[in-house]
Structures are given as C-alpha cells and as structure tokens.
Amino acid sequence: MAKKVVIDAGHGGSDPGTSGNGIVEKDYTLKISEYMKKRFDELGIESSLTRDSDVSLDATARPKRAQSFYGTGNDVILVSNHINAGGGDGAEIIYALRNSDNLSRRIASEIEKTGQNVRKYYQRRLPSNPAKDYYYILRDTPNNESIIVEYGFVDSTGDDVSQLKNNWEELAEAVVKAIAEYIGVDYTFEGNVNENYYKVKSGDTLWNIARLNGVTVNELKAANNLTSNSLSIGQLLYIPKKETEIVETKIYTVKSGDTLYGIANKYNLTVDELKKLNNLTSNSLSIGQKLNVSKEEQETETTYTVVKGDTLYGIANKFGINVNNLKDINNLTSNTLSIGQVLKIPVSTEDKLTYTVKKGDTLYSIARTYNTDVNTIKKLNNLTSNSLSIGQTLILPN
C-alpha cells in the first residue's frame, strides 16, 4: 500500500508561533508546507495540507484535521513543520514514541547536506505520563508515523536566521527527498541544484560522475544509500565533500606576571619565534591574551583521486611537494598507482592564498572562484557560520 503524507503548517491565524529577526513562524511554516505539497505532487506522492491559508487550528482541531484525510493507519506520514526559539542553532527532528528513528535519521542526514547543522533527532515524553508523547500533534495522531521538524532558531546567534530566510526551500527539499526515498519513490528534482548535488543526465554513469566530482564510486554510493550502479535521468545525487583536517595548534593563555621570555622559554622557543608566530610588534602582553606556542608549521591535509596517466612525480609536482613525502604520508612502498586511488596531500599554511571579502561575496561564490568548497574555507578560517563581513581576510587553499 502506497504511503500518503499529511503536511502540517505549524501555528496559524491567531497563533503566530515564535518570531524574531524578520521571521514569523506561521508564515514560514506555511511557505515550507506549500512548497512540500507542490513537490510531493510532482513526485506522484499523495499528500494533503492541514492548512493552506492563515487560519487557526487549536490542539483539538489540528490532529483531527490531520487524520481526516487518510485515517489513522500506519500508512500515513505526518510531518509537522515548525521554527524554533530559545537561542540555539540548528535543526531538530522529534519523532513519536511508537515509531523508530529511521525516517528522522534520514531527514537529519539530508538537512545536513544543505549546510544546516542538526542538533539532534529524538523523542520526548509527557512528564505527567511518560508513556505518552510530549507534543500533542504526535500524541493525538495514533498509528500515523508522525514527526515534527524544527528547521532552525529565529534567535540563533549562528547562521540559522540566514538559512531560514535564504535557504528555506533547500531545507524543505531535504525533507521531501528523505520522505520520498524512505517510502521507495524514485526521487527527481528539476529545480536549481546547489553545489552539494549533481543531477543525473542521459549517458551518465556512477563512474564518470564520481570522477567528475573527485570522489570514488564507493563514496558516492555510500553518500546516497545506493545498493546498485543503476541511475535514472533527473536523479539527484549528493556529492560528499573532501574536507581538510587541521592539526590542532597549542594555545597559551597569558596570566598575571607572564613575560614573552618566560613563555618562550617554557615552550622551547625564542622570543622572536614567539612574536613571529603571533604577529606581535612589541613585547607587551595582556592577561587573557591567547598565544600560539606551537613551533610546528601548521598543515592541512587534502586528498587527490588518481586518474588515468597520473604518476607520483606528476602529482607531487602539481602540489609542490616531494615524491618521498607523498609516499611517506600515504604509506606507499612503490611508485605504482591505480585509477581511483585516493592520496593524502599535505598542504602547508605558508602556501595558502588570502582573500579580502568584497560587497556581494558569499562563501559559495568564493569557493567556486578558487576551485574549493565551503567547508574547506570554513575549517581553514575557523568559521562557525556562513556569514561574512566586507574587508574580512580569508585564508584559501592554493
């Protein structure tokens, strides 16, 4: 029996829900829900909306309306859309006590692929009766597979506000994709695809898509839960990103009575080395100041996938490193390479480019220009959000 979907736009009418930073919950949940209805229609998934306008539904009327479309069977998925508040950052998914976490886990995975972080997916019990769900939309929709999706926080100090305002369609699409694949419907997408995805075209194979995007076929299959090499035109594939790994730097916090000489001596440095590491122009220190006391050159590690015609010498030359270093870091005992082999590439911070942010720049546009990805730039610059400011200096991989 084909599963049906009920889409609940949280709040509405006299109940606006939470609000802040130009976001009113009832408006955004309606936009998200209407978008999802349109997409389910395109995918051939039967679905209904609990509300398609700004009307009020109280705690009694909403569950009844949700179950008025397809009944109380377990062949119905109910997704209730919400926006969070409370100063956190990231999405949350709550699933009913009667259900497993399979669907919620899929939704969390797809939301993370949009660039939004997921705080958790979980169940919550009613304190007065732990056998019951805390939220009435889960508690009072028996047998349905009911979930609540909180897409982000209106009062987040991270990047949730930007995500909700600018990427709400991507977040909604992530839930659509997760549900479609969960119920076994072929997922296709004809809209704009962001940089994390690839839309299958006529003649495509997993091998050429993997090679085009610098990943292996197995990595591509694992990221998309594929059990075979079959593809369909219009299918949307998530491309796993090759993230860099930054070696942790030793940091010292200046205390009362500290001197540059004392700190340098403690960490086997000269004063000049300590000043150079921290771009200091004088010997003055302030209590609480953070100093880099690691003499070791910071390195990042990227990867390279071997293609036909590659040699160790050619790859080493391309990245400006020594062949022996390349062999050492990859534990190679010979110069033989195989197509598709993934090599670790050490990249010194001294070889990095710097870029000054201009008006209109985004992390995505900068990453595209310099042939890298957003996550690499964020890691290199210790960024916790996608927000940029004009004049900000970024380190970029060369």
Contacts with 116 (C-beta within 8 Å, 6 or more apart), sequence order:
90, 91, 151, 152, 160, 163, 167, 171
What's the pLDDT score for residue 270? 79
Q: Packing angle between helix 102-113 and helix 168-182, nearest 10 degrees?
A: 140
What's the pLDDT score for residue 159? 86
Check pLDDT > 70 for residue 260. yes
Q: Is residue 198 within 8 Å of 237, Cβ to Cβ?
A: yes
Rounded to whole angstroms, the Cα distance separating 148 from 33 reads 12
Check pLDDT > 90 for residue 37. yes
Top-level CATH class of 197-238?
A: alpha beta
Q: Is residue 289 within 8 Å of 252, Cβ to Cβ?
A: no
Q: How many CB atoms lie within 10 A of CB 133?
A: 23
Strand partners, 195: none
What three-state secondary structure class fits 356? strand
Domain ranges of the chain: 4-182, 197-238, 248-292, 299-396
For the domain made up of 248-292, give the CATH fold: Membrane-bound Lytic Murein Transglycosylase D; Chain A (3.10.350)
What's the pLDDT score for residue 48? 97
Instruction: Please give the share of the chain, as a percent, with pLDDT higher than 90.
Output: 41
- Pair type for strands 76-84 and 4-9: parallel
pLDDT band at 341 (very low <50, low <70, confident <90, very high): confident
**Mean pLDDT, rounded, of the chain:** 84
Top-level CATH class of 4-182?
A: alpha beta
What's the pLDDT score for residue 298? 44
What's the pLDDT score for residue 319? 67
| Residue length of the chain | 398
Task: Find the mean pLDDT for residues 216-243.
Answer: 79
Tokens of 247: 């070696």
What's the pLDDT score for residue 49? 98
Measured over all CA atoms, what is the biggest interatomic distance in the chain, rounded to whole angstroms? 76
Within this chain, domains 197-238 and 299-396 share the same CATH topology: yes
The gap from C-alpha 319 to its chain's centroid, in whole angstroms, comes to 28
**Out of 73-77, 183-187, 241-245, 384-388, least confident range:** 241-245
What's the pLDDT score for residue 288? 75
- Please check whether the domain covering 299-396 is classified as CATH 3.40.50.1240: no
Reading phi first (left if > 0) and then psi (alpha if -120 to 50, else beta), residue 23 is in beta
Check pLDDT > 70 for residue 54. yes
What three-state secondary structure class fits 154? coil
The identity of residue 136, as a single letter, is Y
If one compares 394 and 29, the residue with the highest pLDDT of the two is 29
pTM of the predicted model as reported, rounded to 2 decimal places: 0.56
Comparing C-alpha atoms, which of 298, 328, 333, 308 is closest to residue 316? 328
Comparing C-alpha atoms, which of 350, 274, 338, 288 is closest to residue 311? 338
